[in-house]
Amino acid sequence: MKRKLSWLILIFAFSLFFLYGGPAGAQQKPIVIGGSLPLTGVWAETAKVIQRGYEFWVEETNAKGGLLGRPVKLVIYDDEGKPDSAVKLAEKAITVDKVDLLLGGYPGTAARPVMPVAEKYKMVYVSMGGHMASFTQGYTYSFGAPPLMGEWWFLGAFQWLETFPADQRPKRAAVYIMNNPVGTALLSSIDEYTKKLGIQVIINEKYNLPLPSAEPLVMKAKQMNCDLFISGGVFPDGVMTVKAAKALKYNPKAYFQGVGSAIPAWTKELGEDGNAIVSGTSYHEKLNNPSNKMLIKRVKEKLNMDSVDTYFGFSVAWLQTLFAGVEGTKGLDQTKIRDWLRKNKVETVAGTFTFDAKGLPAPFTYTTQVVDGKIELIYPADIRSHKGIYPKPAWK
Amino acid sequence: MKELSQTGKKNRPALFAGIGVVALLALFPLVAPAPYFLSMLYMVFLYVVLAESWNIIGGFAGYLSFGHVAFFGLGAYTTAFLMNKLALSPVATILSSIPGGFVAALVAFVIGYPCLRLRGPYFAVVTMCFAFVVHMVMQNIDLFGGVEGLWLPAMKQPIHVIRGIFYELMLALMILVILFVRWMEGSKLGKGLVTIREDEEVAQTLGIHTPRIKALAFVLSAFFPGVAGGLHAYYLTYISPENVFDVMVSILIVLMTLFGGGGSWLGALIGAVSLSLVNEFLTTFVGAEIARIIYGMLFIGVILFMPNGIMEFFRRRRRVRLAAEEVSES
Amino acid sequence: MGGIYALLGVGFSLTWGVMRVINIAHAGFGVLAAYIAYSLLEKTGLDPLLSLLISLPSFFFGGMILHRGLIRPITKARETIVASMVLTFGLAIVVENVMLWIWKADPRVLKPSYSGTAVFIGEVGLPIAQLVGFGLAAVGILLLYLFLNHTHTGKAVQATWQEKEGAALMGINLQKVSEIAFGLAIAAAGMGGVAMAMMYTFDPPVHNFWLIYMFLVVIVGGVGSILGTALAGLILGVITGLCMAFIPYQWINVLTFGLLIVVLLVRPQGLFKTGV
């Protein structure tokens, strides 16, 4: 009995020692930026993209002389997609590794509890956020640059529909939304714009992930003659639904997809069936602002990649914003950076941002559509790469 | 059954060591460590509370509840809901975790009687289903925040004070639960539960009113996680159905307890502490997938060599050693 | 859809019933099979069904080796069921992360030549890929059933499960039988995985979802009963379909699991199990 307890104490002390002398101790010269991402678990795929984006941008920055003349060092922990771990690891980065800057996390369910932590520790937190609800809690240190704002997601898509004469627009909508915060965030813009455009919402349902089968959803939409089909889900159910729509020969005039249609895997898995699907995004590789053009060029040169994934662009934009604050205040004082970001415009690959009191830029969205297997921007007019296909051609 | 007496009498040195450890832990925040350590230990304490409470019904009674996270989540939601609706002060919010525990206990009482009639794996599955149902119902009810979840305004104190407070609270809860389980182990209730686990029919013939004490065990095992959940809600300041009803937590507490050795207060403690700490090391030092693989292999390895959990393994060795000593002395 | 879960479930049911081993990694092996089929399809254009000819035997033998190495030692435990859960939990984590490491995390879809087409019966369309998946499930379950009931080894497996000591007395080699049963179960998992992949996208962690429905189907059908599992799968499919027609989708899972709870409380042995 006594032996076992002393073992316990030894192990405990040993472990504290190890953790305290952890690998990423703050050093004098480099600027350390740290945080966590879900490198394993259900969110791993996008997390890896974000990681690559972060690494790339840090390398680029270092190649140009670093931040404030100092090299930047990246520390990323694996939070396995668990919000508890994300909180704990953010604290670790801040209090043990004593990072100079905090890294934005993923997905929104992890970002949400980290935002109050950043607030308490007074560290600027630039990330995708957790949709509108997370930005209305009064956290002053959090910024979405760009945010993943479900509430803005379909704004552009509907505005694009508006550009067509009223008699050509769809009249009846079938709305299927996944039952999670991302999905429910989509509803506000759908409500607003269907009213504005005089589109009747015939079906409005939420479904739980994973979706058991998409045929009933599509069947119902077909039977009710809905010519606008909104599939507010993610990749797996999105693919299922498209397949079902094709199999059941359901041809709406417009087909909106929540998330998932703006990645290469969409075309890879669906081929030409994935065409003409409309979606939204806060970043796209085809954006022609100078910052993004430079990024695409550099990515091609350095990584030999022909295309840049949405989240890659996001992660670069987040770092750009944070670094702009650092350079702008010529220092690492988080409160000064926060105030600077409020007062200044920041140029990123996702656009130029001016932040409001909530830490958000003005509502914006870029509307995408898959054309011939490639993702094109179709709205707004000043940034689009393609006019957009309407109505959606029938399945082949 | 004789092993139970081991934990009793002649263990003065152990007792002092135990008190020493507790004192060290309690005073730890005073050395102003990086709040991360407070948070990390808080999580370890949390898992100990969950594992030990689960032990009451799972380890002692042998009824493996795979839905225990539901009680945790219900406690969390109780506190979050009360705080929002009644605009409670920080102290009141912390205290509201106690009603959280009662809510969990009540639910356990209600579902306990029908579910505890089931044996073995069926009980496991029905509890897991029950946890799912609670999870999905909470997701769909907008009054409780729906899928969005609930936000709790954070305390106004500086962060290291807040972390220190939660650290001490969870430490206190953990000590409480450990002492309770320890007491229970030697009590009539505990012995009754063990008898049920060994052979339920025999227990009944011995006059033990099995439905009643099973239900009691279940209710008790639900109360503490409910309180812990209430505290945790305030700690995170944001809860959502996804993160407080996570089925992996249910599975993890089962495994932690069995890993360390069910049916003993020390076993659950060892299991929870060791697995939490190991997980922490791995994520700190090793690349992500490799860490997970090593974590998985740990389970495999330990079970291959110590099929009944760590405690049982050491107990057996101790028994063998004692027996050998006896033989050599005679 | 239910049929596919049934196929995935029968192997699980088998290991549970015969060996008192709850194999939490079962669905994980299914996903592994799906990945193998995917890679073979991509690299060589081999139809997933044909790829089964390669993967099934390897899964069978792999399963037997696993049994010898990992499962046999833990049968000495006081509570094999408990020990098996801990062990296979670890195994599931290992399998998932190995897959993550090799194939990365992005979701995949099996796209044989006939995906995206459907057969129409009046207004109702039945996607061909799903029919194939269902067909696969039906074949797999039938094969397993025939094996258990009409072959010598199969009957030995049944005997071992129902009456261990008796079977040993009859000269049946318990170890060998368990090994074979386990190998079969893993092979069935592989088949089930491919069937699932016909219908759904998959990525390394998806086995967690499959696991839950698998549990459901096995419990409702009765542990160890192949037929029971199959029927339970069909029932699950039918109920889900009915639900989708009548109630808001967000409540479907509540209903499905609620019904499971009711079944468990009323008839825990499952709806179709007789005897053990």
Q: What is the pLDDT of residues B97-132, one digit of tens each?
A: 888 899 999 999 998 888 888 877 778 878 888 888
- In chain A, whose CA is at the least distance from the CA of C240? A212
Put simply, the answer to whether C244 touches A45 (Cβ < 8 Å) is no
Nearest chain B Cα to C216, which residue? B125
What is the structure's pLDDT at A22? 41
**pLDDT (average), residues A118-140:** 87
Task: Tell me how close the Cα of A77 comes to any Cα of chain B, in angstroms.
Answer: 7
Looking at CA atoms only, how far is residue C235 from chain B in angstroms? 18
Residue B125 amino acid letter: V
Tell me the mean pLDDT in the region C162-175.
67
Q: What pLDDT does residue B25 have?
A: 84
From A27-31, A68-72, B44-48, B258-262, the region with the lowest mean pLDDT: A27-31
Give the confidence band of A24 by pLDDT, cuts at 50, 70, 90: very low
Q: Which residues of C are less than 8 Å from A245 in CB distance?
A: none
Would you list the DSSP string of C212-236?
A: HHHHHHHHHH-TT-HHHHHHHHHHH
- Which chain A positions have a beta carbon within 8 Å of B310's beta carbon? none
* C101 has a chain A CB within 8 A of its CB: no
* Domain coordinates in residue numbering, chain C: 2-207
| B→C interface, C-beta within 8 Å | 64, 114-115, 117-122, 125-126, 128-130, 132-133, 136-137, 139-140, 247, 251, 254-255, 258-259, 262, 289-290, 292-293, 295-304, 307-308, 312
Phi-psi region of C251 (alpha: psi -120 to 50; beta: other; left: phi over 0): alpha
**A273-277, B21-25, B197-201: range with lowest mean pLDDT:** B197-201
* Domain ranges across chain B: 31-246
Tens digit of each residue's pLDDT (9 = 90 or more) over B140-197: 888 887 778 888 888 888 888 888 888 989 999 999 999 999 888 888 888 888 888 8
Q: By CA distance, what is A41's nearest residue in C?
A: C205
Among A40, A213, A219, select the one facing C1 at the smallest CB separation. A213
Report the pLDDT value the prediction gives residue C166, as an integer from 0 to 100. 66
Q: What pLDDT is stored for residue A23 in this prediction?
A: 44
Cβ–Cβ below 8 Å for A91 and B246: no
Among A75-89, A129-143, B123-137, C244-258, where is mean pLDDT lowest? Answer: C244-258
- Rounded to whole angstroms, how far apart are CA atoms C200 and C227? 24
Q: What residues in B contact A11, CB-CB < 8 Å?
A: 274, 277
Distance to chain C for B44, nearest Cα, Å? 20
Question: Chains with 3 or more CB pairs closer than 8 angstroms to A?
Answer: B, C
pLDDT at B46: 93
Q: Which one of B243, B253, B279 would you mutate to disrupt binding with A, by most A Cβ within 10 Å of its Cβ? A: B243
Residue A151, pLDDT above cutoff 90: no
Residues of B with CB below 8 A from A4's CB?
A: 266, 314
Amino acid in the structure at residue C60: F
Which of B137, B147, B319 is the best substitution to test chain A (most A C-beta atoms within 10 A)? B147
Residue B45 near residue B105 (C-beta atoms within 8 A) = no
pLDDT band at A32 (very low <50, low <70, confident <90, very high): very high
What residue in A sits closest to C207 (Cα-Cα)? A42
**ipTM score here?**
0.79
Structural domains present in chain A:
31-149+288-353 (3.40.50.2300), 152-281+366-383 (3.40.50.2300)
**Least confident stretch, A215-219, B45-49, C133-137:** C133-137
Of A44, A207, A219, the CB nearest to C249: A207
Q: What confidence score (pLDDT) does residue B68 get?
A: 92
Task: Tell me what pLDDT residue B72 has.
Answer: 93
The answer to whether C111 contacts chain A (CB < 8 Å) is: yes
The pLDDT value given to residue B53: 92
At C73 the pLDDT is 72
Chain A interface test: which of C208, C214, C243, C244 (most A C-beta within 10 Å): C244
Output C82 or A75, whichever has higher pLDDT.
Answer: A75
Q: pLDDT digits over A311-340, tens only?
A: 888 999 999 999 999 998 998 899 999 999
